[in-house]
Structure 1
Amino acid sequence: MFAKNRTNMYKISSLLLAVLLGIIAVSCQQKEENNFKVDVTITGIGDKVVYLQQRKSGEWVKYDSINLVADKGVFEGNIDLPEYFYLTVKDGQGYVPFFIDKSDISITTNINNMRDYTVSGSKTQDEYSAFMESLGKFDEQAALLGQQYQQADEEGKKNIEVQYDSLMEQKTQTMLDYALSNNESVVSPFIIMSNSYLFELEALDNVTNNFSPKIANSFYTQYLKDRVSTLKNVAVGQKYTDFTLNDPDGNPIPLSSILNNNYVLVDFWASLCGPCRAENPNVVEAYNKYHDKGFDVFGVSFDKDHDKWVEAIEKDNLTWKHVSDLKYWSSEAGKLYGVQSIPHNFLIDPQGIIVEKNLRGEDLQNKLAEIYSE
């Protein structure tokens, strides 16, 4: 009898232990699920919904939302690596950008001026803010050059353009140097990602390969790896990648149908892009001069308004084939060719090889003169 009861006691004890361990495990899991907290105070907002959102691949992505009560509320959640978020208000009165990491963070702002805000508690945000403040000197000098440019004569404008280009090179190099020296910080790939259109493939590849394995799974590191891969696919010397988009009448036109053993300039532009419209007369001149010799242009628009797109085509006398999916910066062709700024173009030879990129002004005229004088 004793032995039987003792066996039952062992069973009960084992059961209690299992339950206790289960409670501890659940408790630990709950603790792991909430490794950050964001205390929000928006003076004057009262009782309203606010959101945590992110920008990923050009789209707004909602992460969480809470109801503020008497101006205050708390976000809680779990995060593996620091990520950049936007605290936004439902009716679009403003936002607060900041990094969330594994810490207790406080945000204070006013609904009447959300540009004036305070973020504390996030070491990642502190690091990012300090670096961006150091870049401020370049922006101040650029603004000053912009003012001087408006009042300068033609010779003065050329000199200012040289100064501006030099200033931007310094700014770009400063970002690269920081990312190379701080390769374990998520701030580094975020900075490079946010300005990736400024960097040539070689520099982008080098800095991305230099990031520590500790941040290899960061969204920003993965984004840069994907961008490097895309740029390698459309680098000079590579075979072109075909795509099909609709013309203004809704007819699908593949890029391959335009090649026909010709040199083709794949020209990314948009009706609302001032520099694109300024470059259009140069492309028109090149097209009129060399089209009879086999040169063609394939216009790919980043427009989202069909009528404005067609109006610009007609006004600028762009008589070549045009296509667009009217997705603005989410253009499928733009993604395929890694286009992050416009105007942007690729010159493809009769064999379908990309031979030049971003030919504008005299560079385009000189390259075509070289080709058709052979």
Structure 2
Amino acid sequence: MKNILILAAMSLPLASQAQKGTFTIEGNIGRLNSPAMAYIDYMCDGAGKEDSAVVTNGRFTFKGLSTGHSYARMALSHDGSGKQKAVYTGDVIYFYFGKEEIKITSADSLANATIAGSKVYNEFMAYNKAIGGSIMDLNKWANGQVNAASPEQRQDTAFLGRINTEYRKRITNRANAQIEYAIKHPNSYFGMVALSEGTGTPVDVKRIEPVFNSMHKSLRESDMGIELKQRILAAKTIHVGAPAPRFTQTDVNGQPLRLDDIKGKFVLVEFWASWCGPCRAENPNLTQQYAKYKSQGFEVIAISLDDHKDKWLEAIAKDKLPWIHVSDLKGWNNEVGRQYGIRAVPANFLLDENKHIIALNLRGEELNKKLTELFGN
């Protein structure tokens, strides 16, 4: 019987703008040997970084640069089956670190490891304790409830619904605790982390903007602060009836494309990524609708939140996507994504011929119905 996997939309938070320094992470996990591999993805100065290391006698090492507060995802492939499997179904942890020498130690796995030598990590753990745990802690709780259930309970939609309701309640309570943490810690880096994560989507501007304005200037002017300010502005200005924010982004051939280059057409501005399952699942329907209405003045501009061009182009080719594709390959730091306040994909904005927003987040039958309304059968 399959376990239920309850996922929360999340992205790697952005690193603060500060002077960079070196870090070293030394791992010692049991007695693993080749083909075992360790992988790390982290943020440094607003840019995503990644690295991998062969595991020899349980040991591996990562070295690089940090601005003082870098957020990392580390995954360990025990059997050498690759990064993707390790990240999404294997042994993975999330943590903050700084310009430090850090040791990660366990007899068997990253999940059971202790992390030593990092003041930043200790501050991160204290922050998590104050807000009721990390998202991964809540996911672990929910999946644990399902794993402990009987086969009959796992078939019971009412039982599973109660777990999901409690999970959502805990998510809401955590978000409220994060806002309170930000209010009480306006000078703390993790105060800004709390506000950024707790803000959620859609942004409650009346609640969030005063808290943001109370944060220390250095935090507001950090990359994380700037990104949150962009989300607040997007929430205030991007809505049905408003003009769509103008943008320029590079297409698959390296040529700049402006939104205003598309004239006299209805345009669907579609945010997606090659790694986004729901995005890829919607592509067949969108392909049908595009073929049906392109000649009548329907265009799609797909903005990818990928950070690897080869994976982006591979997904376009595999899904046979015939519309316009652009990306700056900055992942979650995509400039247009930040401008539009994007925190999860898929997301889209349907524009009229004058580039005014007429609908938000249409997919499946909702999109089909709206296009029929605009163009007829």
**TM-score normalised by structure 2 residue count:** 0.60
2:261 matches 1:261: no
Deviations, residues 58-107 of structure 1 (Å, cap 9, x unaligned): 446xxxxxxxxxxxxxxxxxxxxxx845799xxxxx9994589xxxx998
Would you say the 8 A contact 2:27–2:105 is kept in 1? yes
Tell me the equivalent position of 1:6.
none
Count the aligned residue pairs.
291
Q: Which runs of 5+ in 2 are unaligned?
A: 1-23, 29-41, 50-67, 74-91
2:204 partner SS: helix
Aligned to 1:201: 203
Secondary structure of residue in 1 paired with 2:184:
coil
Q: CA shift at 1:266, angstroms? A: 0.8
- Residue 302 of structure 1 contacts residue 326 of structure 1 at CA under 8 Å; is this kept in 2? yes
Correspondence for 1:184: 184
Contact 2:268 2:300 survives alignment (8 Å):
yes
1:328 to 305, 327, 331: 331
Aligned positions of 1:184-333 closer than 5 A: 184-185=184-185, 186=188, 187-194=190-197, 198-202=200-204, 206-210=207-211, 213=214, 215=216, 217-218=218-219, 219=222, 221=225, 223-258=227-262, 260-333=263-336
Partner of 2:12: none
- Conserved 8 A contact 1:98-1:119: no
Deviations 1:209-232 (A, max 9, x none): 235836454245554234312443
Take 2:238 and 2:248, find their aligned partners in 1: how far apart are those partners?
17
What does the per-residue CA deviation read over 1:260-298, in whole Å, with 9 as the maximum and x for residues that have no partner?
Answer: 232210112223332221111121122223333322211
Q: For the structure 1 residues 194 and 371, does the alpha-carbon distance in structure 2 shift closer, same or farther, using more than 3 Å as the test?
A: same
Give the greater-gyration-radius structure (CA): 1
Cα distance change on mapping 1:285 and 1:233 into 2, 3 Å: same
Q: Which residue of 1 aligns with 2:346?
A: 343
Kindly provide the amino acid, as one letter, of the partner of residue 195 in structure 2: I
Is contact 1:184–1:215 with CA below 8 Å preserved after alignment? no
Contact 2:178 2:198 (8 Å CA) reproduced: no
The answer (yes or no) to whether the contact 2:192–2:215 under 8 Å persists in 1 is no
Look up the SS of the partner of 1:268 in the other structure: strand
* 1:128 paired to 2:132: no
Matches within 5 A, 1:74-93: 84=69
Structure 1 contact 242–256 (Cα < 8 Å) conserved: yes
Please report how far the alpha carbon of residue 357 of structure 1 lies from its aligned counterpart in structure 2 after TM superposition: 2.2
Give the secondary structure class of the aligned counterpart of 1:297: strand
- Give the distance between the partners of 1:119 and 1:133, measured in 2 at CA: 24
- Using the size of structure 1 for normalisation, the TM-score is 0.60
Q: What SS is found at the alignment partner of 1:250?
A: coil
C-alpha displacement of 1:355: 2.3
Which residue of 1 is the match for residue 56 of structure 2?
A: none
Which residue matches 2:20? Answer: none
Measure, in 2, the Cα distance between the counterparts of 1:119 and 1:108: 6
C-alpha separation in 2, matches of 1:262 and 1:167: 45
Tell me, in whole angstroms, the C-alpha distance in 2 between the residues paired with 1:287 and 1:367: 13
Pairwise CA distance, 1:313: 2.3
Cα drift, residue 188 of structure 1: 4.1
Deviation at 1:128, TM superposition (A): 0.7
Higher relative contact order (Cα pairs below 8 Å, separated by 6+ residues) = 2
What secondary structure is seen at the aligned counterpart in 2 of 1:299?
strand
8 Å CA contact retained: 1:184, 1:211? no
Query: Which residue number corresponds to residue 353 of structure 1?
Result: 356
CA displacement at 1:327 relative to structure 2: 3.3
Partner of 1:143: 143
Distance 2:123 2:45 in 1: 19
Residue range with higher mean Cα deviation, 308-317 or 217-226:
217-226
Which deviates further from its counterpart, 345-354 or 326-335?
326-335
Contact 2:265 2:352 in 1 (8 A): yes
In 2, are the aligned partners of 1:216 and 1:222 still within 8 Å (CA)?
no
Percent identity between the two aligned chains: 28
CA deviation string 1:301-351 (max 9, x = no partner)? 233444443333233222222223333333332233232332221111222
Measured in 1, the distance between the counterparts of 2:235 and 2:70 equals 27
For 1:160-184, what per-residue CA distance to the aligned partner results, in whole angstroms no more than 9, with x for missing partners? 68974x5564344223321343412
Distance 1:313 1:157 in 2: 37
Q: Which runs of 5+ in 1 are unaligned?
A: 1-39, 45-52, 61-82, 89-93
Pairwise CA RMSD of aligned residues?
4.7
1:339 is paired with a residue whose SS is: coil
Contact 1:178–1:188, Cα closer than 8 Å, also in 2: no
Q: Distance in 2 between matches of 1:96 and 1:351?
A: 44
Task: Report the CA distance between 1:255 and its aligned residue.
Answer: 1.7
Quick one: structure 1 residues 168 and 347, their matched pair in 2 at CA, closer, same or farther if it must change by over 3 Å? farther
Distance 2:173 2:301 in 1: 37
Q: 1:143–1:210: structure 2 CA closer, same or farther, 3 Å change rule?
A: same
